[in-house]
């Protein structure tokens, strides 16, 4: 199999505003992001011949094709995983192009995550039988899984709630550079984090993402085609998905040397021919602070068990840190678009167009939510 | 009243029914490979280690320890709006490293739970005719 490295590019991005009450349909939000991405790429709507859609319970590919009057769609996919799956969806879009089924694939996610509660418990309702081993015991929300994994990590490695809080504070600081972030102009200190309500002990409310209404989109095409379009292309050096059987109806065991995220890391870095020290900006889907800390270990940015000390060291802070994290605020503070916001911000960084711009950024690692089936991308300019 | 009365009960399912039937008889039955002896939970049709389809439902001791725990303090899900705070424990059974199940610790204050706490199974009948395995601190 030929490597996909550098053969495809992201050529357009678009986003709707993020709000707590859009008063609009998810289709309307999706169309705002999608048409903005098409315009940004310098394409015409009729050029779109592939769709990487949202979760099928929200805005499916048929809704977008119908609303835009697309007549040439030869490829579409609607991945079911939420926060873990967005970078993997981009990988599927590349597969559709590689198979000769499409040339310009629009990818999007749209959710009224604040005003219409479809996310918490959603995945739990889709597999009701297995859930007999969790739901009757009150394990009804991803926060409970995250709390169990966080507690075990603390026990094994001496990680503390303040370490988790450091990630929340970093993301909030970056959101305060992003005028579109839902938590813009709302500074957060570590003490604020420590005083916030408990959610799933040891996790606090501020360890969880902020649900919002909003949509984001991007356009992918071949590297060759990308060179003719309006924007400087952002090349995809590596794309992958990974899952781990240990996640089936159990908690992520943060002590295992091998898991979905370490597998993803090996795949991505080997495909790109890079190592973690080559990455300039990190975009890790941050549904919960604790999973970001564990992902930093599993992706190889620090050693297993050393995530706590690492996040305290300022490495993740814009502008002076070695590898700034979630520079638009992430799900924790920009607003939870299930990790699609991380891709859009990664592209902005590589165009030199971010509000918290990392000087000379050449590479970005995008990682989907971990603690579930995950996926990732390495992008370059 | 049983712990967390009123949450959605397990639904009948051919892969899982022996587990719940065991609970009704106050027996903790864990699926075990007849060829390689590996325990697996939740139940699945074949052994993830050796891929044998030969299985038995082995009655285990019900003894184990708390592998991790949380206290749900904020009702993110409407079903637990009037039930917080409540605990969830992940118990590792003594029969096999990594053999863990999700449950609750009863007759124990949340602030007294710790990782490594020795526990043993007990059974609680729920209003839907379902019996759930829960755990108590072992003496």
If you measure CA to CA, which chain B residue comes closest to A131? B10
User: Using an 8 Å Cβ cutoff, are A106 and A43 in contact?
Assistant: no
One DSSP character per residue, A48-68 reads: --EEE---TTSS-HHHHHHHH
**Closest CB from A136, A201, A251 relative to B132:** A136
Residue A179 has pLDDT above 90, yes or no: yes
Residue A63 has pLDDT above 70, yes or no: yes
Query: What is the rounded distance in angstroms from the CA atom of residue A345 to the CA atom of residue A181?
Result: 12
Chain A interface includes B71 (CB < 8 A):
yes
| Average pLDDT estimate for A50-67 | 93
Quickly count: other Cβ atoms within 10 Å of residue B48's Cβ: 12
If you measure CA to CA, which chain A residue comes closest to B100? A250
Q: Per-residue pLDDT tens for B70-128?
A: 999 998 777 788 999 999 999 999 999 999 999 999 999 999 999 999 999 999 999 77
- What residue spans of A106-252 are helical by DSSP H? 122-126, 142-157, 161-175, 190-195, 223-226
User: Using an 8 Å Cβ cutoff, are A347 and A378 in contact?
Assistant: no
Domain of A67, CATH number, reads 3.40.47.10
Kindly report the nearest CA distance between residue B66 and chain A, in angstroms: 10
Q: Per-residue pLDDT tens for A342-357?
A: 999 999 999 999 999 9
In 3D space, the residue among A185, A214, A193 whose CA is nearest the CA of residue A338 turns out to be A214
Tell me the pTM.
0.96
Range from A88-102, A127-141, A161-175 carrying the lowest mean pLDDT = A127-141
Domain hosting residue A98, numbered range: 8-117+211-226
Kindly report the nearest CA distance between residue A202 and chain B, in angstroms: 7
In 3D space, the residue among A133, A245, A135 whose CA is nearest the CA of residue B46 turns out to be A245
**Closest CB from A134, A144, A152 relative to B72:** A144
Which ipTM score applies to this complex? 0.97
- In chain B, where are the structural domains located? 12-60, 61-139
Kindly report the nearest CA distance between residue A284 and chain B, in angstroms: 23
**Interface test with chain A among B5, B81, B102, by most A beta carbons within 10 Å:** B102
Answer whether residue A266 is part of any domain: no
Chain A interface includes B106 (CB < 8 A):
no
Residue A254 has pLDDT above 90, yes or no: no
Kindly report the nearest CA distance between residue B34 and chain A, in angstroms: 21
Chain A residues with CB inside 8 Å of B101's CB? 133
**Closest CB from B42, B71, B77 relative to A133:** B42
Q: What pLDDT is recorded for position A119?
A: 44
Exposure string for A273-302, b = 16+ CB within 10 A, e = fewer: ebeeeebbbbbbbbbbbbbbbbbbbbbbbb
pLDDT band at A121 (very low <50, low <70, confident <90, very high): very low
Query: What is the rounded distance in angstroms from the CA atom of residue A248 to the CA atom of residue A105?
Result: 32
Q: What pLDDT is recorded for position A23?
A: 95
Tell me if B132 and A137 make a contact (CB, 8 A cut-off).
Answer: yes
Chain B residues with CB inside 8 Å of A243's CB? none
pLDDT band at A249 (very low <50, low <70, confident <90, very high): low
Tell me if B74 and A202 make a contact (CB, 8 A cut-off).
Answer: no
- The percentage of residues in chain B with a pLDDT greater than 90, rounded to a whole number, is 83
Chain A interface includes B31 (CB < 8 A):
no
pLDDT band at A128 (very low <50, low <70, confident <90, very high): low
Tell me if B88 and A137 make a contact (CB, 8 A cut-off).
Answer: yes
pLDDT band at A245 (very low <50, low <70, confident <90, very high): low
Range from A280-289, A297-306, A351-360, B7-16 carrying the lowest mean pLDDT = B7-16
Answer whether residue A59 is part of any domain: yes
Chain B residues with CB inside 8 Å of A149's CB? 68
Chain A interface includes B98 (CB < 8 A):
yes
Answer whether residue A38 is part of any domain: yes
| Average pLDDT estimate for A159-178 | 98
CA-CA-CA-CA dihedral for A232, A238, A241, A247, to nearest 10: -110
* Tally of domains within chain A: 1
One DSSP character per residue, A191-232 reads: HHHHHSPEEEETEEGGGBPPB-EEEEEEEEEEHHHHTTSSSP
Kindly report the nearest CA distance between residue B9 and chain A, in angstroms: 6
**Interface test with chain A among B88, B123, B130, B131, by most A beta carbons within 10 Å:** B88
Q: What pLDDT is recorded for position A1?
A: 54
Query: What is the rounded distance in angstroms from the CA atom of residue A64 to the CA atom of residue A57?
Result: 14
């Amino acid at each position: 199999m030929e490597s996909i490295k550098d053969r495809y590019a992201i050529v357009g991005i678009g986003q709707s505003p993020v709000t707590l009450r859009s008063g609009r349909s998810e289709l309307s939000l999706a169309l705002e992001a999608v048409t903005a991405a098409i315009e940004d790429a310098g394409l015409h709507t009729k050029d779109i011949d592939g769709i990487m859609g949202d979760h099928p319970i929200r805005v499916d590919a048929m809704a977008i094709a119908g609303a835009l009057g697309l007549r040439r769609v030869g490829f579409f996919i609607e991945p079911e995983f939420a926060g873990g799956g967005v970078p993997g969806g981009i990988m599927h879009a590349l597969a559709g192009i590689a198979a000769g089924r499409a040339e310009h694939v629009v990818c999007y996610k749209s959710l009224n995550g604040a005003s219409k509660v479809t996310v918490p418990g959603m995945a739990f309702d889709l597999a009701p039988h297995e859930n007999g081993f969790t739901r009757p015991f009150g394990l009804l929300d991803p926060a409970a899984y995250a709390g169990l994994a966080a507690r075990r990590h603390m026990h094994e490695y001496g990680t503390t709630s303040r370490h988790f809080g450091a990630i929340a504070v970093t993301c909030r600081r970056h959101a305060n550079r992003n005028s579109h972030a839902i938590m813009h102009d709302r500074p957060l200190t570590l003490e604020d984090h420590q005083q916030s309500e408990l959610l799933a002990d040891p996790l606090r409310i501020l360890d969880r993402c902020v649900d919002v209404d909003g949509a984001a989109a991007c356009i992918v095409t071949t590297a060759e085609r990308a060179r003719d379009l309006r924007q400087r292309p952002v090349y995809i050096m590596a794309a992958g998905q990974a899952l781990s059987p240990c996640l089936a109806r159990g908690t992520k065991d943060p002590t295992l040397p091998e898991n979905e995220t370490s597998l993803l890391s090996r795949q991505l870095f080997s495909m790109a021919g890079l190592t973690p020290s080559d990455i300039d900006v990190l975009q890790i889907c941050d549904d919960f602070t604790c999973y970001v800390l564990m992902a930093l270990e599993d992706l190889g940015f620090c050693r297993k068990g050393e995530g706590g000390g690492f996040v305290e060291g300022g490495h993740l802070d814009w502008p002076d840190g070695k590898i700034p994290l979630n520079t638009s605020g992430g799900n924790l503070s920009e607003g939870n678009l299930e990790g699609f916001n991380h891709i859009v911000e990664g592209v902005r960084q590589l165009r030199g167009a971010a509000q918290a711009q990392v000087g000379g950024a050449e590479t970005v690692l995008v990682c989907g939510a971990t603690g579930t089936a995950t996926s990732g991308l390495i992008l370059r300019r | 009243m049983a712990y967390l009365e009123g949450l959605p009960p397990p639904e009948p399912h051919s892969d899982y029914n022996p587990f719940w039937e065991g609970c009704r008889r106050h027996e903790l039955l864990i699926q075990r490979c007849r060829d390689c002896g590996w325990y697996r939970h939740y139940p699945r049709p074949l052994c993830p280690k050796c891929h044998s389809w030969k299985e038995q439902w082995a009655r285990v001791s019900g003894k184990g320890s708390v592998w991790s725990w949380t206290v749900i303090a904020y009702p993110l899900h409407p079903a637990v709006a009037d039930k917080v705070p409540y605990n969830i424990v992940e118990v590792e059974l003594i029969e096999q490293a990594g053999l863990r199940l999700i449950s609750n610790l009863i007759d124990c204050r949340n602030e007294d739970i710790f990782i490594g706490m020795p526990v043993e199974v007990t059974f609680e009948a729920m209003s839907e005719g379902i019996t759930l395995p829960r755990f108590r601190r072992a003496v």
